[in-house]
Structure 1
Amino acid sequence: MQALMQGKIVLVTGGTQGLGLAVAEAAAREGAAGVVIVGRSAAKAEIALAAIAAAGSGAAGNGAEAAGAEGTGAAASGVATHAVLADLSVEGEAERAVAETIAHFGRIDSLVNAAGATSRGTLLDTSRELLNDHLTLNLVVPFMTMQGAVADMQSRGAPGTIVNVITMSMHGGQPYLAPYVASKAGLAGLTKNAAFAHRFDRIRINGLNIGWTATPGEAVTQHTFHGAAENWLDEASAAQPMGKLGQPEEIADAIVFLLSERSGVVTGSIIDWDQNVPGAYE
């Protein structure tokens, strides 16, 4: 059976760590010809590129050419990788990430918006600055990367796929996530709007509402904002219906499925990917 991402060029924001890196690795495993990751840290990017190359080492026949640009690594399997070092909170950097991907690989076939902000704030104590931070990273950046990717797809008359990482909290969320919820709910609306607008371009755009997920970033959040103990993950996992938090690798597989032709005609869907059911009560 053909690999899900056979020969595709994939751009992943937030791809140097956590869920974004898991998505990039999954795309490489599924035969992507080129994977571009976006992040701020050169050190993390170097480690991530090696991991993506290793993940793609078993993917045969992806038709990729080894890339020779500075800051780029290519696995022996032929899966080419490239890192765009960018602070996406800075105006123009999201657009640059798209432009650099197109300049490097000639096109974008699939886009995943995995970068985002999750700082805490309630309705009453959130400053305009904090709100703007969330709106920028969780809504404006995906808007601009989608704009650039869709424009490229349209210019080539080619189909494409986009997945936006959203959150179960868009259904309402915790009181201390007010700016996060506001921005991610906006992203859900944008996902549907763009999917409808470009359905006849055969550009499929979907979103995944992820629940509580075990990532290095979540560990930092728990310690920083909630004074969590060192064994917080064990305690949190034990309290979940499935005995664990969401796993980045499992979520990445779902995202790659939505990016692939295997997900058929599905577009404009916001899928709840969690072990708890919104609207259900004991």
Structure 2
Amino acid sequence: MQNLMAGKILLVTGGTQGLGLAIAEAAAREGATGIAIVGRSAEKAERAAAAIRDRAIGGGPEGAARAESGVEVLAIAADLAAPGEAERTVTETIERFGRVDSLVNAAGATSRGTLLDTTRELLDEHLTVNLVAPFMTMQAAVLDMRRRGAPGTILNIISMAMHGGQPYLAPYTASKAGLAGLTRNAAFAHRFDRVRINGLNIGWTATPGETVTQRTFHGADADWLARAEAAQPMGKLGQPDEIADAVVFLLSERSGVVTGSIIDWDQNVPGAYDQ
């Protein structure tokens, strides 16, 4: 890729760890001049911001030149489950950088629950973080784009679970299926505003957060990742850096007119069977 985000201002919820952090780092390498990252912990957000600035130096002479000119990273601590917090992330980004060109909704609740054992509190958590928060960040970002009469791009990290998911992902599946519908609705509604909105259905991905999830909910041991990868068609789980490159492409002008697309980013094919 070559400077796909040159001069752009990007906001990434969930940008302090895992896939969100990989997306922010990829955008910095691709020339973004301002990046806002959102996480619950202020300390963690500041550490991630420093890491993004440092890693922007990579990528040879062009990367070094971009680092010298400076990528400014804003760390925002916010609890997206709390009323008004999602909108505040957009407001703070605009206050610092003057605008939002691109938005990535990568934050997500991933705790487990079946149809029968999910409490109202757990369901509310998933719906609030995985659906309501993206709704509100999208609303605030599109209002800014329309106010300025400027085109923009939004990418929602959804999930292969939106196709149905495992029994223990009932609230997660409900929230992600809702986000897929919202993505298409908003893309259609704002196509003549030249705001392109797409979604990426990611499959099983190797992140530090996934290790915590496997240990917390599935009793995984230290070798869980090696065993999981050995069982996959491609011999590995999804890789954050590879997904991040796809996200940056979809945010950039190089993805052309594409909008309203929900792309399955996985090595398993929904609806296909061995027998």
- What's the TM-score, normalizing by structure 2? 0.96
Identity of aligned residues (%): 78
Query: Deviation at 1:219?
Result: 0.3
Aligned to 1:198: 190
Query: Deviation at 1:46?
Result: 2.1
Aligned to 1:38: 38
Aligned to 2:216: 224
Aligned to 1:51: 51
Q: Decide whether the 8 Å contact of 2:52 with 2:73 is kept in 1.
A: yes
Residue from 104, 111, 120 that aligns with 2:103 = 111
Query: Deviation at 1:42?
Result: 2.2
Taking a change above 3 Å as real, the CA distance of residues 232 and 197 of structure 1, as seen in their structure-2 partners, is: same
- Which letter maps to 1:32? A
Q: Decide whether the 8 Å contact of 2:42 with 2:76 is kept in 1.
A: no
Q: Decide whether the 8 Å contact of 2:29 with 2:63 is kept in 1.
A: no
Aligned to 2:267: 275
Aligned to 1:72: none
Q: Decide whether the 8 Å contact of 1:168 with 1:209 is kept in 2.
A: yes
Gap regions ≥5 residues in structure 2? none
- Which letter maps to 2:9? I
| Stretch deviating more after TM superposition (38-47 or 24-33) | 38-47
Distance in structure 2 (CA, Å) of the matches to 1:161 and 1:275: 26
Query: Deviation at 1:88?
Result: 0.9
Distance in structure 2 (CA, Å) of the matches to 1:200 and 1:244: 40
**What does residue range 88-99 of structure 1 map to in structure 2 within 5 Å?**
88-99=80-91
**What does residue range 153-168 of structure 1 map to in structure 2 within 5 Å?**
153-168=145-160
Aligned to 1:8: 8
Distance in structure 2 (CA, Å) of the matches to 1:273 and 1:261: 20
Query: Deviation at 1:18?
Result: 0.4
Distance in structure 2 (CA, Å) of the matches to 1:266 and 1:211: 21
Q: Decide whether the 8 Å contact of 2:57 with 2:63 is kept in 1.
A: no
Aligned to 1:207: 199
Query: Deviation at 1:56?
Result: 1.9
Residues 60-118 of structure 1 show CA distances to partners (whole Å, capped at 9, x for unaligned) of 59999xxxxxxxxxx54411110111111111011110000000000000000000101
Query: Deviation at 1:58?
Result: 4.6
Query: Deviation at 1:229?
Result: 1.2
Aligned to 1:243: 235
Aligned to 1:28: 28
Query: Deviation at 1:228?
Result: 0.6
Alignment RMSD: 1.6
Residues 110-130 of structure 1 show CA distances to partners (whole Å, capped at 9, x for unaligned) of 000000101100001111110
Query: Deviation at 1:173?
Result: 0.4
Distance in structure 1 (CA, Å) of the matches to 2:113 and 2:223: 25
Q: What secondary structure does 2:249 align onto?
A: helix
Distance in structure 2 (CA, Å) of the matches to 1:58 and 1:225: 37
Give structure 1 regions of 4+ aligned residues with deviation exceeding 4 angstroms: 58-64
Q: Decide whether the 8 Å contact of 1:32 with 1:62 is kept in 2.
A: no
Residues 174-223 of structure 1 show CA distances to partners (whole Å, capped at 9, x for unaligned) of 00000000000000000000000000000000000000000111000000
Q: What secondary structure does 1:126 align onto?
A: coil
Gap regions ≥5 residues in structure 1? 65-74
Aligned to 1:71: none
Q: Decide whether the 8 Å contact of 1:6 with 1:62 is kept in 2.
A: no
Q: Decide whether the 8 Å contact of 1:7 with 1:63 is kept in 2.
A: no
Q: What secondary structure does 1:23 align onto?
A: helix
- What's the TM-score, normalizing by structure 1? 0.93
Query: Deviation at 1:40?
Result: 1.3
Taking a change above 3 Å as real, the CA distance of residues 63 and 128 of structure 1, as seen in their structure-2 partners, is: farther
Distance in structure 2 (CA, Å) of the matches to 1:276 and 1:61: 35
- Which letter maps to 2:14? G
Q: Decide whether the 8 Å contact of 2:18 with 2:209 is kept in 1.
A: yes
User: Is 1:19 the counterpart of 2:19 in the alignment?
Assistant: yes
